[in-house]
């Protein structure tokens, strides 16, 4: 019981010790990318989904790793923008009296590049860029309260420049007696660079994210609603961190938004429709993504996402399409296999 108290105190402590950070201001930004087709279809981030058979969920909240996920294998692939792709693979195992463990590998491949001089002349040398994060997840529970941690050693490689870092996620989850409602709190990507990309370089921040969420399955309708509040450590998502060299005046890029719009920037909405237990339809909305990536004269469906899931015996297949830009969208595929059932 003591470890639950310590974990809760540490989660709230991060609220006061972490500085405001938003996308584009940190290194290892790939840690914020969801590789789960299910979560991507629900807006790109959900930390309170209650499903003891989906090994994707502990990636977003380590407390959601359950003993029912034992001997399950997960493989995710994301066809991202241009020739960039990333993915995730994981396996779970439980030990009675000790807890639940999962081991996963999260990677992103930025593709091949051609080297050129400062004048644009090709040298004939090709190089690549990629980043990797090992996920070592542990969870346990005390009655209906679940708690977990995810330790993530990181390797980032861009041509001859490499950096090693370490990060950790801490999460708690609490479900109602009928298991229809679940609430969660997660502090993700707490850590630092161990080595910088070049000698005597300054250590860059990594994308810390404090999140809270709730999911609710209706008792008399095949619907699951989920809401996650993200970046609670940074209230003003409409504007970057202030420049310490500025005179304090607003720049032309800074926005003065209403309280309601500020709340919406933190909120990710998701809904699942279950025509049957073996087929699920999903949709999501991410207001912050829409505001960051839309064109004012043609907003299109940027910020919206959709997908579906199919369960066939020991296999679980999920697909999602997430709209980032007018020019393209991202396709995500997740395949889960239950090794407890005989082939």
119 vs 5, more confident: 119
Instruction: Kindly state whether residue 60 falls inside one of the protein's structural domains.
Output: yes
Q: What are 252's strand-pairing partners?
A: none
CB 190 within 8 A of CB 14: yes
Q: Name the residue with higher pLDDT: 276 or 251.
A: 276
**Using one digit for the tens of pLDDT, what is the confidence trace for 93-150?**
999 999 999 999 999 999 888 888 888 888 888 888 999 999 999 999 999 999 999 9
In a domain, 53, yes or no: yes
Residue 250 lies in a domain: no
Tell me how far apart the terminal alpha carbons of the chain are, to the nearest angstrom: 40
* Cα dihedral 263/144/181/229 (nearest 10): 10
**Residue 249 belongs to some domain of the structure:** no
Write out pLDDT tens, residues 168-226.
999 999 999 999 999 999 999 999 999 999 888 889 999 999 999 999 999 999 999 99
Give a yes or no: residue 157 inside a domain: yes
CA 113 to each of CA 109, 121, 128, 205, 250: distance values in angstroms, whole numbers, following the listed order: 11, 14, 6, 26, 38
Q: Is the dihedral of CA 44, 100, 179, 146 positive or negative?
A: negative
CATH number at residue 187: 2.40.160.60
Q: What is the pLDDT of residue 299?
A: 61
Write out pLDDT tens, residues 299-330. 667 889 999 999 998 999 999 998 776 666 78
Q: Which domain holds residue 195?
A: 2-113+127-243+255-338
Predicted local distance difference test score (pLDDT) of residue 181: 96
Is the residue at 334 inside a domain?
A: yes
Average pLDDT over residues 142-165: 94
- For the cut 50, the answer to whether the pLDDT of residue 4 exceeds it is no
- Whole-number percent of the chain with pLDDT over 90: 64
Lowest mean pLDDT among 49-58, 60-69, 111-120, 269-278: 111-120
Please, which residues have CB within 8 angstroms of residue 53's CB and are 6 or more apart in sequence?
A: 68, 69, 72, 316, 336, 338
Q: What's residue 246's pLDDT?
A: 53
- How many domains is the chain partitioned into structurally? 1
121 within some domain: no
pLDDT of 251 reads 52
- Residue 249 in this model has a pLDDT that exceeds 70: no
Per-residue pLDDT, averaged over 76-92, amounts to 92
pLDDT of 51: 94
pLDDT tens sequence across 262-291: 899 999 999 999 999 899 999 999 998 888
120 lies in some domain: no
pLDDT bracket for residue 5 (50, 70, 90): very low
- Any idea which of 158-162, 163-167, 236-240, 258-262 has the lowest mean pLDDT? 236-240
Model confidence at 24, pLDDT cuts 50, 70, 90, reads low
């Amino acid at each position: 019981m003591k470890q639950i108290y310590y974990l809760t105190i540490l989660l709230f402590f991060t609220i006061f010790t972490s500085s405001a950070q938003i996308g584009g201001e940190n290194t290892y930004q790939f840690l914020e990318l969801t590789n789960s087709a299910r979560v991507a279809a629900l807006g790109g981030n959900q930390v309170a989904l209650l499903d003891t058979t989906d090994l994707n969920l502990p990636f977003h909240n380590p407390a959601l790793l359950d003993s029912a996920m034992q001997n399950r294998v997960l493989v995710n692939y994301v066809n991202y923008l241009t020739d960039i792709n990333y993915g995730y693979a994981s396996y779970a195992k439980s030990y009675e009296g000790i807890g639940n463990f999962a081991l996963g590998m999260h990677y992103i491949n930025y593709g091949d590049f051609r080297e050129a001089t400062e004048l644009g002349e090709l040298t004939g040398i090709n190089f690549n860029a990629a980043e990797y994060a090992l996920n070592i997840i542990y969870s346990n529970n005390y009655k209906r309260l679940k708690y977990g941690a995810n330790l993530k050693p990181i390797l980032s490689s861009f041509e001859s420049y490499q950096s090693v870092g370490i990060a950790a996620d801490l999460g708690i989850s609490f479900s109602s007696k009928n298991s229809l409602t679940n609430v969660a709190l997660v502090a993700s990507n707490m850590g630092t660079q161990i080595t910088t990309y070049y000698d005597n370089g300054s250590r860059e921040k990594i994308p810390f994210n404090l999140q809270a969420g709730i999911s609710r399955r209706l008792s008399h309708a095949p619907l699951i609603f989920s809401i996650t509040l993200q970046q609670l450590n940074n209230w003003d998502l409409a504007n970057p961190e202030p420049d310490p060299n500025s005179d304090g005046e607003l720049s032309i890029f800074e926005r003065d938004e209403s309280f309601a719009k500020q709340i919406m920037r933190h909120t990710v909405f998701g809904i699942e429709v279950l025509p049957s237990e073996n087929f699920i339809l999903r949709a999501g909305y991410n207001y912050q993504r829409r505001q960051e990536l839309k064109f004012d004269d043609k907003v299109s469906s940027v910020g919206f996402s959709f997908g579906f899931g199919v369960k066939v015996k020991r296999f679980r297949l999920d697909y999602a399409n997430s709209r980032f830009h007018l020019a393209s969208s991202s396709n995500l595929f997740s395949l889960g296999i239950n090794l407890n059932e005989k082939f």
